[in-house]
Each structure stands twice: as C-alpha cells, then as structure tokens.
Amino acid sequence: MSHPASPQLPIVLTIAGFDPSGGAGIAADLKTIAAHNCYGIAAVTALTVQSTQGVKSTHLTPAATLRAQLDTLAEDMTIVAVKIGMLGNKANAAVVAEFLDRAQIATVVLDPVARAQSGGAELMDAAGLKFLREELMKRATVVTPNVPEAEALLGMEVKDVAAMEAAARKLVELGARAVVVKGGHMEKAIDVLFDGTEILHFGGEKVKSPNTHGSGCTFASAVTAQLASGRPLREAVLLAKAYVTKAIERSYAIGKGPGPLNHFYRFQQEPPARGVHEVPQHGMHPASEPGVRG
C-alpha cells in the first residue's frame, strides 16, 4: 500500500561545534530547526569536551574535512538556509566563506561565536575573528552577536542600549547587511536590529532562570528557520525572540551548571499521573479480549 509523500520541508544547514551535553551548538541548532518545521543537516566544525558546567577543551575539525562535509551535503540536497556558529579558527572560517561563494545560498545567518558563555573558553582564534569581521560578515543575511561578541568584533565597550545601537551601525558599516545585537547580558532583555535603514528594539521580560545554556545558538537557529520558511527579517527576529523566551521559561535543570532550553516545549504534554496509563480506544488490548489467542 502506497502512502502519500510528506510535504517537502525547507532544508537548513547548521555549521557549528558539537556540545555533548546537548544544550548548545549543533544539538541545539538541530532541535530548534526541527521545532520550526524545517529539516536540519549539519557540518561539524569542532568536538568540544563540555557539560553544563562549561567547556573543558575543543578539538577542531581539520579544514579539509569540514570542506568535504559541506560539499557532500550540497551535492546531495537543496539547502535553503545556513546558520553559522562556532568555527574555531581562520582555516575553517575561510572554508565556510568559499562554500558560501560556491553554493550561493540565499539565506545565511552568522552567529559570531567567540567565547563560551559557561567557563569563558576561547572558541575562535584572533586570526579567525579578524577574517570573520572582514570577510564572512559581508556574506551573511544577518549577523547575531551578543554584547560580548559585538565588543570583541569592534573593540568597543557596549554598556547600554545606545551603545548596542552604535555597535549595530558599525557592524553594518563593516559590511554586514543586517545585525541583531542580542541583549541577554544586559539588565533588560532588549535586542537591537539594524537592517541598514532602520533601528528596531525587541523588548521582553528577562526570564528569571539560570537555564540559558545555548540560548544564543537557539536564537540564531530560530531566526534561520523562520527566514527559511519565508518570513521577513523583522518577523523572524520577533518570533525567534518569543520562542527563546518561552524555551527558557520551560527549561531543564539537568546538570550542576546552567541547564539547556526546552526546545520542544510546544509539543510536550503533561505526563500522566503515576500508575495511570492510556487505554486503547477500542477498550481492551487485543490479547485480553475474549476469544482472542496469540
């Protein structure tokens, strides 16, 4: 018996590092992409040794291996959008730039990961950060630094919303088409979008939860998935912020440090009370019905 084919989901590629705790990087990206009704594929730039308590070490993927991952995926399927996270060094950043030039993918979201939020480990070398600023940013549809990343890219202090606006403008001057400076590190959770023409603020209540591990990766992936689904940038940012806020509100406390977001909060139901099980709709399990033999 044939079944009708499922509708084609937009294919979203994430290029980032792997977090074994599942809270950030590739794991967070793929969960977020799936939660937004897109199909996620991944090229891994690094294997990290980390948990909710922080990054202990990073082991970068050789540039040739990263190139092979990207080319193999692009040969096999049509990629609608790309989200770029941790790259680790200039060699990997250069491979990604070359791939973007070859593949000509319309939607590219660059999350310029430079330092781990937990533990403060360096996740990009100085040469890589320079290449990212001078070459990779201009290839992106939108760049999504948090406040420390904006400071690292620009060499300036960002202490308030006015400075966030100035940072967004400077990044566009450096070649970015649009920038969202994420305000999660600030007293109020305000994100600033500059699309090259207009400054927009996206406000919201700051969720009182320590479980924010991977929130930056999740936001960038949510923006990417929304853009892949055809939404304009402003709407994509608004919806991504709302998604991250709710995912933090419904987050997990799974380890001894900041826990991950609940990426699938929309699909979860309250578990049944202990000892209560759903009964099949016809009333009885077939094996327990009179006259039925196994």
Strand order in the sheet with 11-18: 54-60, 39-51, 11-18, 81-84, 107-110, 142-143, 179-181, 191-194, 199-202
Quick one: tokens of 214?
A: 């991977």
Please give the Cα distance from 182 to 149 (Å, whole number).
Answer: 10
Query: Using an 8 Å Cβ cutoff, are 136 and 93 in contact?
Result: yes
Full DSSP string of 172-185: HHTT-S-EEEB-TT
**Predicted pLDDT of residue 271:** 65
Quick one: tokens of 128?
A: 């890589």
Please give the Cα distance from 181 to 234 (Å, whole number).
Answer: 13
**Predicted pLDDT of residue 291:** 45
3-state class (DSSP) for residue 41 = strand
Question: Residue 84: what residue type?
Answer: I
Q: Determine the Cα angle at 247 with ends 242 and 124, to 5°.
A: 90
**Predicted pLDDT of residue 121:** 67
Q: Which helix (H) or strand (E) holds 217?
A: helix 215-228
Please give the Cα distance from 142 to 152 (Å, whole number).
Answer: 18
Indicate the domain borders of the chain: 11-265
3-state class (DSSP) for residue 50 = strand
Parallel/antiparallel/unpaired status of strands 191-194 and 199-202: antiparallel
**Predicted pLDDT of residue 287:** 43
Quick one: tokens of 258?
A: 């900041």
**Predicted pLDDT of residue 272:** 64
Quick one: tokens of 27?
A: 């794991």
Using CB atoms within 10 A of its CB, is residue 187 exposed (0-12), middle (13-18) or buried (19+)?
exposed
Which of 54, 31, 41, 86 has its CA nearest to residue 244? 31
Question: Residue 113: what residue type?
Answer: V
**Predicted pLDDT of residue 111:** 97
Please give the Cα distance from 215 to 247 (Å, whole number).
Answer: 9
Quick one: tokens of 172?
A: 């566009």
Per-residue pLDDT of the chain (294 residues; tens, 9 = 90+): 556 566 789 999 999 999 999 999 999 999 999 999 999 999 999 999 999 998 999 999 999 999 999 999 999 999 999 999 999 999 999 999 999 999 999 999 999 988 766 555 678 888 999 999 999 999 999 999 999 999 999 999 999 999 999 999 999 999 999 999 998 767 778 999 999 999 999 987 778 888 989 999 999 999 999 999 999 999 999 999 999 999 999 997 889 999 999 999 998 766 666 665 554 454 444 444 444 444
Using CB atoms within 10 A of its CB, is residue 7 exposed (0-12), middle (13-18) or buried (19+)?
exposed
Please give the Cα distance from 186 to 201 (Å, whole number).
Answer: 14
Read off the pTM. 0.88
The topology (CATH level 3) of 11-265 is: UDP-N-acetylmuramoyl-L-alanine:D-glutamate ligase (3.40.1190)
Tally the residues of the chain.
Answer: 294
**Predicted pLDDT of residue 124:** 86
